[in-house]
Each structure stands twice: as C-alpha cells, then as structure tokens.
Structure 1
Amino acid sequence: MLLLLVAAFLQQLVTSDCTSIEGVVVPPLNASPDWVIHTRVRVDGQKYIGFVKTDGSFVVSDVPSGSYLVEITNPVYLFQTNVVKSVPYPLRITSVGKAAFFQVRL
C-alpha cells in the first residue's frame, strides 16, 4: 500500500510541471478527406508527437513548460511553422499550399 502511495506521489511530481499544446490545423479547401491520416504534429523536432483528429484539432500532452517549435508535417501539404512562447490557445495553423516535389517542365 505504501509503495502505491509513493508511486502515485512521484507521478504527480513528475507531471505537475507539464502542460499540453492544443490547436487546430486548417487544411486547404480542396484537401482530400484522408489528409488527417497522414498529418503529424511535431514539437521540437520529434521530442513530442501529436496526431490530428478528424475535425483538425490536436493535443500534444505532457510537454514541460517552455518555448517550442511546433511543426505540422504532411507528405502532400505544407503548413506554417510556429514558435510557441506565450500565445493564446488553441493554436490555429493554416496550410500554406500544396507541396511541390517536382519542377514543371516547359
């Protein structure tokens, strides 16, 4: 019983300084319906990873307080990169367009 109480107390200490980063990803108007499946939220590279829900919202939990670089990655669409210092929540991140992998030949 004492071991469980100590473990619960330590868990509370570890997670008490953590927070969540919440936001909404806005895809282009003509985005395919499965864009969410291939989209990831990366905080400080790949230190913390989040997934986008079907409504475009996301939550990255258990992130220690501080400043972070938040990136939305998708193989087809490009999204603006955000530096999170102290901004209103939830974040709203809009697509900047479709990714261009090839140059158009003339």
Structure 2
Amino acid sequence: MMMMMRLGMRLRLGMRLGQEELSTHSATTLYTIEGIILAPGPGLRVGAQWPADIKLSIDNGEYQGFVRRDGNFMISGIPAGSYVLYAHHADIFFQPIRVEIARNGNIRARQLSHIKPSHVVKLPYPLLLKPLERRKYFRTREQWNLLDYVLNPMVLLMVVPLLMMLLLSRLITDPETKREIESIQFPQIPNNMPDLGDLLTSFVTGKRLPEKKKPTPGTAHKRRN
C-alpha cells in the first residue's frame, strides 16, 4: 500500500510539472522579424544568384534565416528581447542591426555602434538592408609614386640644403654678407681617415687595416762648400 501511494504522488507531481511547462510555453509569445535586402549595384560585381548566397543569423546563429529571390526575408520563432541581426555574404559586407522586440509586439531597429553605444540612430521597420562595399581579402599592391620618392627623408636631407643655398645666394644682395658666407670655413676631413674600399676589404677578409705611419719631419742637411 505504501508503495502504491508513493507512485501515485509521483505521478501527480509529474503531471503538475508538465502542466506548468505547457502553460509557460504557451504564455511565451514568439515573433517574426521581416525585412528586405536591396540588390547590389554593378560596381560590387556580384552574380545574379546573390540572394541564395546570403545567410541571416541572430545572436551568433541562435536564429537563422534565408533570403528569397525578390530580396525579402523572414526570421520566425523569436521571443521578446534585444538581438543583433547579421547578414553574411562571401563578397558583400552588410552593416549589422540591433533589433529590439517588446513584450507587446512592438519591434524597433537601430544601428549597431560598438564605439558609441549610447548614440542611437533609429532605422525603419520592416528592415532595409543595403550592401555597403565589397569585401577585401587582399591588399592592393602599391605602385611607384613620384611624390613618395620626393618626400623620402634621405632625398629631403640632400635636396633641401642645396635649395636653401641656391635661394640664399639669390636673395642676399649685400656684397659684404656674400663675402662672409663665402669665407666660412667648413670642417675638413682628416687625412688619416681610412678609405671606404679598405674598410670593405677588411670586413670581407677579416684582416685588420694597416696603420698609416705618421710622417716624420725631415732634417735639413746643410750643404758643404
């Protein structure tokens, strides 16, 4: 008798739990997100089967959808909450959209901004997705440009002083100032500096450079009469 009573209590408890789950499931209202994707322009270079290549996902694939041939789409079975809609295509980039579904069924959309989350830009509903640009998987090879060559620091260091000297010589009209500039003695390179060819030879062969002997002052011999 005790065993039968325990089994009956367990059955009643299981039936109550099942009824509660059914009631909560029926109380949860599911909604549908609708929208349209505009056809990409000829500059994006996409084939005619572009709607079949687009895959829609909400919250990293928790809810998914596909696009019809005319560009319309529907994603059903979504409860109330805040979601992010992504449109994935191998060659086209779409801006993700934040979609908020209220408990009363009101659906609002706005731009998704990770930099300024407080900045709200409302979007129309049903959603209107427009392809922004073509995805770039490779970096364009840089071509030779004359401006880059002129703005090279090495070129500037060589050309700018020369131009300054030419301009100063033409701008200065005072003859005394010109003489002062011409009389400026620039530092001379000492004679005991090693030759560049000798440096390269010693670097390749591993031998040290021979030291240059300092010239000794010669002694003047007096002629004998």
Q: TM-score range by the shorter chain?
A: 0.7 to 0.9
Which aligned pairs between 1:34-53 and structure 2 lie closer than 5 A? 34-53=49-68
Structure 1 residue 27: deviation in Å?
A: 3.3
Identity percentage of aligned residues: 29
Secondary structure of the structure 2 residue equivalent to 1:95: coil
C-alpha distance in 1 between matches for 2:39 and 2:84: 20
1:100 to 118, 121, 136: 136
- 1:3 counterpart residue number: none
C-alpha distance in 1 between matches for 2:125 and 2:60: 21
C-alpha distance in 2 between matches for 1:53 and 1:79: 17
Q: Which has the higher strand share?
A: 1
For the 8 Å contact 1:28–1:97, the answer to whether it is kept is: no
Structure 1 residue 91: deviation in Å?
A: 0.4
Letter in 2 for 1:36: P
* 1:34-86 per-position Cα deviation (integer Å, ceiling 9, x unaligned): 11111011111100000000111100000111111000000010001100122
> What runs of 5+ residues in structure 1 fail to find an aligned partner?
1-9
Count of paired positions: 97
- 1:13 counterpart residue number: 26
- Larger CA deviation: 70-79 vs 19-28: 19-28
- 2:35 counterpart residue number: 23
C-alpha distance in 1 between matches for 2:133 and 2:40: 7
TM-score by length of 1: 0.82
- 2:147 counterpart residue number: none
Secondary structure of the structure 1 residue equivalent to 2:69: coil
For the 8 Å contact 1:42–1:71, the answer to whether it is kept is: yes
Q: Which has the higher helix share?
A: 2
- 1:91 counterpart residue number: 127
TM-score by length of 2: 0.40
The structure with the larger Rg is 2
The alignment yields a C-alpha RMSD, in angstroms, of 2.0
2:48 to 15, 24, 33: 33
C-alpha distance in 2 between matches for 1:33 and 1:103: 26
Query: Could you say which structure has the greater relative contact order, defined with CA pairs below 8 angstroms and 6 or more residues apart?
Result: 1
For the 8 Å contact 1:19–1:63, the answer to whether it is kept is: yes
> What runs of 5+ residues in structure 2 fail to find an aligned partner?
1-21, 101-107, 110-123, 143-225
